[in-house]
Structure 1
Amino acid sequence: MQFYLATSFLFPRSLRLRLFTLCFVSTHLPLIGYLLWGFASGRMALAEFLLLTAMTVIGTAIALIGIGALLTPIQALAGALEKGQAASGALPEVGDMIRSLYSGLDRAARATGERIDHLHRAAHEDALTGIANRRGFLSHLTQRDDDRKRGCIALIDIDYFKRVNDLCGHEEGDRVLCAFAARLSALVRRADLVARWGGEEFAIFFEDCIEDEASWTLARIAAQLRDRPIGEVHGRPISFSAGIARWSGGDVEDAIARADTALYDAKQAGRDRIARATTLAQSA
């Protein structure tokens, strides 16, 4: 727009003539430069001058023809709008062109939006299990309103998962991870967030929940895994260890570190246990 206003002194009433002038001057700059160089150096070559002039004229003609072709429907639409004919369908071919243009822009905008959504999902979701990944989990917690930054954070580790991969193969390991993620997601509240923290570790944020409630929920999940196992290692149902820490809106990394310490305590105590950041309890 600034360039349009800056060139308004060139044929203010005719955009076509304004474009013609700019095109003519710009395409003749190489020829003008050659002439100035030739006069200054005294080494003007007639054959080169004629060839450059001919190519400049041809280039100018092609540019002007293209500009004219592009401006014709736009000027026709402008004239129709001024006469009030566009709305009545006086220029259906121009209307079709505009509709095609807007349709193309709309498709491009939708495709761009879908691509952005895909990239966002790829950055915040675990590709294997379909639940949130570590980045998505942390982003969800940090973006919550201040009055909703309270609850419990649990870090969960599948017991002896390496044996699943070693004895049954990585395909079975992937199946176990997906089944475990699905089991966790199905047995927590809709307000809670389940994420794959990395490898065989998972994280859960229990919204507006105290340690007793979070511990009870995890104990219920552990009991169901024993009754309806997602897999077995050496004839024993696959279990998990968990660490729970209270989060009251402070540094979330501190709460996660405390939950990680509690998880370590649970594993050191024999696994298949739920530990709190301060006390240790056998899973029920």
Structure 2
Amino acid sequence: MRFYNATRFIFPRSFALRVFTVCFASVHVPILVFAGVEAALGEWQWSIFLPLLVATVAGSAIGIFALAGLLAPLQRATRDLERLERGQIVENVPVGGPDLAGQLLHAVSRASRETVSRMDELRTEAGTDMLTGLLNRRGFEETVAAVLRAGGGGTVAVLDGDRFKKVNDELGHAEGDRVLCGLAQRMVGNMRAGDIAGRWGGDEFVMFFPGLGERAASEIIERISLAVDEAPDAVVDGRPVGFSWGVASMERRNNDTLESAMELADARLYECKSERRAA
């Protein structure tokens, strides 16, 4: 570090140019010493000086070219580290040998993999409901938006727990959380592989069925409701705690949006809730 710090005044912003300068000066030491001796002796042997000069210049050119190649991995690693610091993804990091440059490239590659893994974890956490493991509102909206951007349509469903407030009031919030997780498991267990489920908030859940109409989507919701009724996670007032729902189709050609479909599904949800209360 002492020599490094002592030479920082030479091209302080470019380590490569500093290395080239030091090496260039070192290569020229023999010819400078020869010139000094010749000057001290008062004679000049051109037959020796000229070949030495040509060899020195050629050696300098070869040395600079070789150093540029040897320093390339360090420059690449530095650029990649700067990209990682800015939060950018680094791909195709070269594989080096067991030397210092190779170890540095390996460290950059490992840091890149860890950064990508952590970003994926953060992205997943940001879009996941921690209680049920379903998508949260943000994750649901982003996932459905991706389907719609690809030109797909489908049906959105809004599910809302019945008498859920009584579960919290009479059985406790821990039991309420268990009921929510149970509903989430029934949803996941009865939907198709490509369907999307999320927790909108509280005891309200949402689902999106790509490519399905309202009738087919309602059949899946009814299967979920039947599974809840057959094995309820809680019973209040002698009745299993189930849910009401409403569905609304979304078609890209009709310029339907998730917001407009959710509003229609929500209105149908309250119609269903009124009917279930009257039953």
Query: Above 0.5 in TM-score?
Result: yes
Q: Offset of 1:98 from its aligned partner?
A: 2.5
Cα distance change, pair 113–208 in 1 and its aligned pair in 2 (3 A)? same
5+ long unaligned stretches in structure 1: 19-74, 83-93, 273-281
Looking at structure 1, the residues matched to 18 and 135 of structure 2 have their Cα atoms a distance apart, in angstroms, of: 61
- Which residue of 1 is the match for residue 228 of structure 2? 225
What letter corresponds to residue 134 of structure 1 in structure 2? R
What letter corresponds to residue 14 of structure 1 in structure 2? T
Choose the corresponding residue for 1:257, options 256, 259, 263. Answer: 263
> 1:141 touches 1:149 (CA, 8 Å); kept in 2?
no
2:198 is the alignment partner of 1:195:
yes
Describe the superposition over 1:145-183 as per-residue Cα deviations: whole angstroms up to 9, x where unpaired: 556421110000011111111111111111111111011
Cα distance change, pair 15–166 in 1 and its aligned pair in 2 (3 A)? farther
What letter corresponds to residue 129 of structure 1 in structure 2? T
2:21 is the alignment partner of 1:14:
yes
What letter corresponds to residue 140 of structure 1 in structure 2? T
Looking at structure 1, the residues matched to 101 and 261 of structure 2 have their Cα atoms a distance apart, in angstroms, of: 57
Q: Report the secondary structure of 2:147's partner residue.
A: coil
> 1:163 touches 1:233 (CA, 8 Å); kept in 2?
yes
2:170 is the alignment partner of 1:167:
yes
Describe the superposition over 1:104-123 as per-residue Cα deviations: whole angstroms up to 9, x where unpaired: 22222122112211211122
> 2:156 touches 2:248 (CA, 8 Å); kept in 1?
yes
> 1:156 touches 1:243 (CA, 8 Å); kept in 2?
yes
Choose the corresponding residue for 1:209, options 202, 208, 212. Answer: 212
- Which residue of 2 is the match for residue 143 of structure 1? 146
Identity %, equivalent residues: 37
Q: Offset of 1:79 from its aligned partner?
A: 9.4
Looking at structure 1, the residues matched to 179 and 98 of structure 2 have their Cα atoms a distance apart, in angstroms, of: 58
TM-score by length of 1: 0.62
Cα distance change, pair 16–129 in 1 and its aligned pair in 2 (3 A)? farther
Looking at structure 1, the residues matched to 228 and 14 of structure 2 have their Cα atoms a distance apart, in angstroms, of: 76
- What count of residue pairs does the alignment treat as equivalent? 202
What letter corresponds to residue 99 of structure 1 in structure 2? G
Choose the corresponding residue for 1:238, options 237, 241, 263. Answer: 241
Cα distance change, pair 164–190 in 1 and its aligned pair in 2 (3 A)? same
